[in-house]
Amino acid sequence: MKVSLPDRLAEYQAALGYVVKAGSSSTLQAAQSELVKGLGGLLGQTVSVSDQPKADGAVVLGTPDSSTIVKSLSLGNALTAVGNEGYVVQATTTGGYQAIVVAANTDVGVLRGCFALLRHLQCHRTVQSLSLSEAPKIQHRILDHWDNLDGSIERGYAGKSLWNWSSLPATISQRYTDYARANASIGINGVVLNNVNADSQILTSSYLDKVAALATAFRPYGIAVYLSAQFGAPKQIGGLSTADPLDSAVKLWWATEANTIYQKIPDFGGFLVKADSEGQPGPADYGRTHADGANMLVSALASHGGIVMWRAFVYKDDGTDRIGQAYKEFKPLDGKFSSGVVVQVKNGPLDFQPREPFSPLFGAMPSTPLGLELQITKEYLGEDTHLVYLGPLYEEVLKSDTYAKSQGSTVARVIDGTVHGYTTTAIAGVANVGSDTNWTGSHFNQANWYVFGRMAWNPDISAQDVADEWIRQTFTNDPAFVTPVTTMMMGSRQTTVNYMTPIGLAHIMGTDDHYGPAPWVNNLSQADWNPVYFHKADATGIGFDRTATGSNSVSQYAATVRDKFASRSTIPDDFLLFFQHVGWDDKLSSSGRSIWNELVYRYSYGVDSVGTMRDSWTGVQGYIDAKRFKDVGDFLQTQHYEARWWRDACLVYFAGVSKHTIPSGYATPAHDLAYYQNLMDKCPSDVTKPRCPDVYSGNPSPAILQ
């Protein structure tokens, strides 16, 4: 096996020979431990701890309060600039010796700085004249676990829940600590432990003791715990006859509950709430608004400093365009939410699709802090099986310009408070972490956990830069591996869009598990659960008309964005069928192909691109260990088969609707529509793999023949 050894080993050994003892707090001790362990692994030698600098090569860490050395250095302006969680890492001289100092205003900032130094070293960057300083741009950077109390995970594809409720609070698994370490290393500072479809039992005393034990394990790493609160809890476990947010007994119940929580968990972060959505109870049950419900809950937390993250994911079967419903419900409430409430909005107006436009709520609520909710677990993007790096998706959303005030009012600048002056800022990612040995169900899914944390800390960081540093830390620094694998990762999301939902198609996945193609489904009880609702394919064309001639949901965007999406001449191809119903034979100016031919091309190119990914991975054999190489290769083979399944099933269906045929130069689907419909009926809806063995037959031949 080829091994990439650091060319800078001698430089590192000279500059980083030992660690000067940190303070006594649990967080500083954790920081010291990470440095000793990390430097030892990188340098290939034992790293000692000294009471004072004794020679060149010291690593000094601490705050001005915990370290006399840090206090003696001229870091005042630099530390002021990085706030409570930021850090300063720089080469310096102390007591006549050359040293690297890791300094911050708080212990947790020191921990962040230690991880930043280790990241810098793992990427084999020089420490000559080292100077790093950074502060997070968003206050609350949270992983939302959709974990249930029985150990299952809704939309979880990496085994069972990490939280072993039956053994808590007595037994603290080492994995809890390792999980906290992983989050701290990428800048995450909060964890919602339970599913948004919440079980009220989590708020009972026995479970709160278990939650408190996890909070204790996470605390040294700067991780606060949050809970998803069941809005109906006063009725379900409180013995009340109502959960009306304006009822005095309900208010008292929540205030008492909050006091109990903070007695057990003094640094409890707050509540995440899903209400009046998909069968969950909420204030609408009592004729109240979302603001009424959120304000009641935050008033219970206010004296303790907790926040309420109130999800804007609401829709109902009322005959109106589903993607416009959240805006209609929340926009009129702007300015009516109390301080400490963050309205948590999914990145798009639909539901974590491979591609969809940014939600029109971003930029539309200047008086209400909006938090961005991203999904890490890839519910609609091949789950654990398909290699899809989500960095480009996150970057696309964060850079989307809302034009809320003027050009440059990007989603990133909205959620970090720049555009509207929000005093509370938040970003959340639906976790992909479970009990699997590799944490995330597949090795490359770890990159999505990683990139979420890095972009939550700094929304302006490049997805490609994050991919590069993740590869270097996870596999090797050898450019013969890093370059092709970075290319593979950066193209993987567009590849998946191409073979699943090209040119603006959305939500045409299988029922319930959202795995595999099912564009023909039209028999579900609620209209907007059916794929045909979203693609509107008929003999004349395809796509959902959301312009003024249709649902007019496009009008919810600022004028500049609205006009771009509403016009056939300016709408990006990637959003075309999301906003417009277009004739099958209409031409795309970008490619000159008809809509039908473009669909055939994109689906086919997506399949062939997965083949290219497989070839790229085969080409890096020998640069990493055999087990991980094989694991990734096996999943890429499955992905290649399933991309062909997606392509053939969708094209067969749309060909039947449009009365068009596959153009020459492209492979003909192997089966008729009935075959693919029956195949989906046989596929399991759980998370076993492989999902549909019948589609795995040999190595898919090229879909584009010439």
- The catalytic site residues sit at 278, 351, 379
Degrees, nearest 5: CA angle 495-499-505: 105
Give 630's Cβ-side CA count (13 Å radius). 3
Show the tokens assigned to 145.
Answer: 């676990």
Contact 506, 578 (CB under 8 A): yes
User: How buried is residue 409: exposed, middle or buried, by Cβ count under 10 Å (0-12/13-18/19+)?
Assistant: buried
Q: Report the candidate in 254, 246, 248 with the shortest Cα–Cα distance to residue 203.
A: 254
User: What's the CA gap between 700 and 706, in Å, rounded?
Assistant: 16
Mention every residue, 6+ apart, whose C-beta is less than 8 A from residue 324. Answer: 349, 546, 551, 553, 556
Closest CA to 222 of 88, 26, 62: 26
Structure tokens at 56: 């060149």
For every residue of 354-369, DSSP letters joined together read SS-PPPTTTTT-TTS-
Tokens representing 545 are: 């008309």
Rounded Cα distance between 324 and 454, Å, is: 31
Q: Which two tokens stand for residue 162?
A: 């990490």
Beta bridge pairs of residue 58: 18, 99
Would you say 324 and 556 are in contact if contact means Cβ atoms under 8 Å apart? yes
Cα 335 from chain centre: 28
Distance CA 133, CA 67 (A): 19
Looking from the CA of 397 toward its CB, the CA atoms found within 13 Å total 30
Task: Write the DSSP symbol of residue 590.
Answer: T
Helix (H), strand (E), coil (C) string for 334-355: CCCCCCCEEEEEECCCCCCCCC
Other Cβ atoms less than 10 A from the Cβ of 672: the count is: 10
Query: What angle do helix axes 174-186 and 445-457 make, rounded to 10 degrees?
Result: 50
User: Strand 307-311 and strand 58-62: pairing?
Assistant: unpaired
272, 311 Cβ separation under 8 angstroms: yes
- Measured from the Cβ of residue 17, the count of other Cβ atoms closer than 10 Å reads 20
* Phi, psi for residue 191 in degrees, rounded to 5: -140, 125
Q: Could you give the CA distance from residue 281 to residue 196 in angstroms, rounded to a whole number?
A: 12
> How buried is residue 331: exposed, middle or buried, by Cβ count under 10 Å (0-12/13-18/19+)?
middle
Its sign, for the CA torsion 209, 214, 219, 222, is negative
- Nearest of 358, 405, 413 to residue 138 by alpha carbon: 413
In whole angstroms, give the CA distance from residue 476 to residue 10: 19
Q: Quote the tokens at residue 580.
A: 């417009």
